[in-house]
Structure 1
Amino acid sequence: MNVREINAFALPGGPMFINRGMIEKAHNEGEIAGVMAHELSHVALRHGTAQATQATKYEIGEVIGSVVGAIIGGRVGNVVAQGTQFGLGTAFLRFSREYERQADILGTHVMADAGYDPRDMASVFRTIEKESGPGGPQWLSDHPNPGNRYDYINREAQLLRVSNRSHDTAQFQSVQIRLRSMSPAPTTEQATRNGAGRNTSTRGTSGRPALGRPELPSSRWATFDEGSLFRISVPSNWRELPGNNAVTFAPEGAYGSMGQESVFTHGVEAGVARNETHDLRTATDELISSLSQSNPRLSRPSGYDRVSLGRSSSLRTVLSNVSDATGEEERVEVYTTLLRDGSLFYLFGVAPRGEFNDYEPIFRRV
């Protein structure tokens, strides 16, 4: 994929994708082989399929085509092909630490069988950490370190016999030279915006969706049941919008689409994310970090307020962002709480900066 970030992923069934940034930054061919062996091992061990199966208990609507279903809410769709306004889909395509360890171990055997030094797999993890910059390595976010990763990979490598050992080939070096001589690869955000820019059927002349003036929130409220997961009440003139990774409620004139991405300017979005930390603060930090990867102009919270959500303790914070739909500054009010199984429930309230004080009481009531 012609994007700058150091990343790679494989889908259930075998399709594998490697970013140009990964190829350009690899120190040798073995490091690329290590990434590919790791991803191939996830496929062979059916980790993506297992996560999709585990995700079904969170479904709010019909599963249309979820790839791994790691971030669940609303009517789950294809989390790779489409995304919501906050881009949670791919940000939460992360494997558990146990799955990571399994893929590491099997990957070393795949490398040895193919004639590559399995220690290059340990080496590539260090390359990713070093080259990913201050924003943090996306690949290691999706593939968390199980602990002592470098040590157990190197121990496993010592037990393996590598026959017909492959070295850094001239073909691989020529590929790197060719890529580095090309125009710099765009970031994922830039590539997404450029791709969305080709679809202008629902946009105004600025390239943004042609939205109207939203109605003020009704004083009457309507209640919606989202499967067996949660019940939510919103102003009666807000529409329930089918989304891929979350359920969204917004008034007429406040929502539209940019390419394959749904956007809204006023309203709320709710969903459930898998949580491995079982700590509300840490899980919320990870959620917001994932949001910021797809929304680089999203501010980080200076702190959280402890509030009550239903009968559960929850966290609240307010972030600033620049709306994709309008290009103007907006406020995003975030609520999070842990469900009984440890999963993270989240709710985002969105309004333009100049209207946030009018909408904030609505978000609190929701």
Structure 2
Amino acid sequence: MAVMPQLALAQTRISAPKNSYSPRDDVRLGQEAAREVERQLPLLNDEVVQDYIERVGQRLVAAIPAQFQHPEFHYTFKVVNVRDINAFALPGGPLYVNRGVIEVAHNEGELAGVMAHEISHIALRHGTAQATKAQKFQLPAIGGAILGAIIGGGLGQVIAQGTQTGLGIYFLKYSREYETQADVLGAQIMARAGYDPRDLANMFRTLEREGGSGGPEWLSDHPNPGNRYERIEREAQMLRVSNPIRDTAEFERIKERLRSMGRAPSMQEVQSGGRRYPQGGGPRGRVEMPSRSYRTYTGNLFRVSVPDNWRELAGGSSTIFAPDGAYGEVQGQFVFTHGVQIGIARAQAAELRRATDNFINTLIQGNSYLRQQGGYQRAYLSGREALRARLAGESYITGRTEIVEVYTTLLRGGDLFYVITVAPQSDYSGFQSAFNTVLRSIQLND
């Protein structure tokens, strides 16, 4: 059993602000906003990092004082795959931490400090408390405005269409009074969870240094109420924590794992094309590993065996086979992050090598982040001579290095038959066996 740290009796007493909305309203508003957030922002699709953040978050949630526990609330913790230093919480429990926050934190205590501060805004119901101050606005209109403030720029404007202009800034950029409350309650939650509250103060200093002259977005949304560091330090002195959690081996492993993924995109890069991320999962959810059971798909030209947890998504001259959570639309164009595409292209030359050159060039033109890695290798498809090429690049959808392998062979009528396998580099080993099985199973009947 975990032993809760002994807390001094002199800790500051906090009262939740006046609120004319019910906790159920918080939950409804938060869920509506979370659905839009996860349609618009690239969540980090990495089970190891996600599980770690969830464990830290739930440890903090368990330490919320009883008077601020709301049975209706469901706290969730997800990582947004952008390098900007920011975190935000939605009413009723959804909490999002940008990858940049994890990367700049010096230890787990600093990361927990950011999360405890955001949890405090949820527990004290600050979002709907601020809505109470502006009662002329109706609750349904607030949701889109909150999203506009979270995402900002072009995407935020799209989300906030039809809502009251400017509400988002008002409802997410908390008052200094609420910031003081979140600082104090955050410190108390940290101590009850076994962290040193001083790490919350240290994280504010870290963010100021990392953010440069303008400061990171998180500090602009959470203004300094005055003497912030001194106030947190004073509260920390009233909270006794023996052997606080700071550096953990797991925290260091998570940071190393993030470094191995390459550079995360900035929020500006995400916004630049007004990109929308795949619905039904994709970068916002976990993608299942391929099933070990296979089923047969028979098309007009070919037969293939695919994992039975992959869907077939036919369109035009090709069919995509992908698991749930790995496909959707981006700017009206269908994309997938894991799986196989099988199709036919009109050959621009009678010789396989030249026809493949043209096909690869067209593929790269449509996916400008990809670059061919080395030359062609000999391969076979349905017993026929084929070529294999590997492409790679940092996907703007997942923010991770993507591995794309292209297999081509000529059909008897002169068209080019192709198979494309796709997966992020960090997931590729888990999909390699399925890809090989799919390739070996292909039977052409031209």
TM-score class, shorter: 0.3 to 0.5
Structure having the larger proportion of residues in helix:
2
Using the size of structure 2 for normalisation, the TM-score is: 0.40
Using the size of structure 1 for normalisation, the TM-score is: 0.48
